[in-house]
Chain A
Amino acid sequence: AQSVTQPDIHITVSEGASLELRCNYSYGATPYLFWYVQSPGQGLQLLLKYFSGDTLVQGIKGFEAEFKRSQSSFNLRKPSVHWSDAAEYFCAVGGVSGGSYIPTFGRGTSLIVHP
């Protein structure tokens, strides 16, 4: 069965500092990997996704993520955090089961940004 682990429940950074959110996955084949952001009172928004090819993926809002198969990781990074980045971040792995795509989400990491 596929699974996703986000080991950090909360991360606090200062505005302007760099950010890395960790994500480890378990899946038997090459996974589809995603990062979503959820602002308070909002639904989830896709930041970026990895299917195949270049292991460094660029997303929206200045985010990027790197797929490392050997470490089963897909960590999210941003070189300089803005106060508006404070939100909940979810990593997800997608696998095909019986011809249908079934996504599994991590428990999320809450990002707190200090001025």
Chain B
Amino acid sequence: DSGVTQTPKHLITATGQRVTLRCSPRSGDLSVYWYQQSLDQGLQFLIQYYNGEERAKGNILERFSAQQFPDLHSELNLSSLELGDSALYFCASSVGDTGTAYNEQFFGPGTRLTVL
């Protein structure tokens, strides 16, 4: 158990809908990262937040957004869902902001999103 929790574990929805995925980082971790894992694209970094502020952006679509709240939990919002958005979405957390030094990331178990 990494200490990172994600809810829900599974989500089934229809095209065009909007969903919210939630992540609670390990106690004391200030950074949260979101990843998408799909058969087509593999594991892709989406976005990082550090202490409430956006820090780094990867291959995140404009239909997707995220935020980190004062209690440090994070939510990933996916809207206008398409079939291709079906994937496993991981959250990870680390103690600090990466910057020029790497902080080990601890991954949650993921949320499996199925878009029908």
Q: A residues near B, CB below 8 A?
A: 32, 41-46, 49, 51, 90, 94, 96-108
Q: Shortest distance in angstroms between A84's beta carbon and chain B's nearest beta carbon?
A: 17
A49 with B102, Cβ < 8 A, contacts A43-B4, A43-B109, A106-B42 known: yes
Contact A104 B45 (CB under 8 A): yes
Contact B56 A102 (CB under 8 A): yes
Distance in angstroms between the alpha carbons of A90 and B105 in the assembled complex: 14
Can you give 30 A-B contacts (C-beta < 8 A)? A41-B109, A43-B2, A43-B4, A43-B90, A43-B92, A43-B107, A44-B90, A44-B107, A46-B104, A49-B102, A49-B104, A51-B102, A94-B98, A94-B102, A96-B100, A97-B56, A98-B56, A99-B99, A99-B100, A100-B48, A100-B55, A100-B98, A101-B48, A101-B99, A101-B100, A102-B45, A102-B58, A105-B42, A105-B44, A108-B42
In addition to A42-B109, A99-B100, 20 A-B residue pairs with Cβ atoms within 8 Å of each other are: A32-B102, A41-B109, A43-B2, A43-B90, A44-B43, A44-B92, A44-B107, A49-B102, A49-B104, A100-B55, A100-B98, A101-B56, A101-B98, A101-B99, A101-B102, A102-B58, A105-B42, A105-B43, A105-B45, A108-B42
Q: How many A-B residue pairs have CB under 8 A?
A: 56
Q: Shortest distance in angstroms between B83's beta carbon and chain A's nearest beta carbon?
A: 21
CB-CB < 8 A to B44: which residues of A? Answer: 105
Q: Interface extent on B, as a size class?
A: 20 to 34
Interface class of chain A by DSSP: strand
CB-CB < 8 A to B48: which residues of A? Answer: 100-101
A107 with B104, Cβ < 8 A, contacts A43-B110, A100-B99, A101-B99 known: no
Contact A45 B99 (CB under 8 A): no
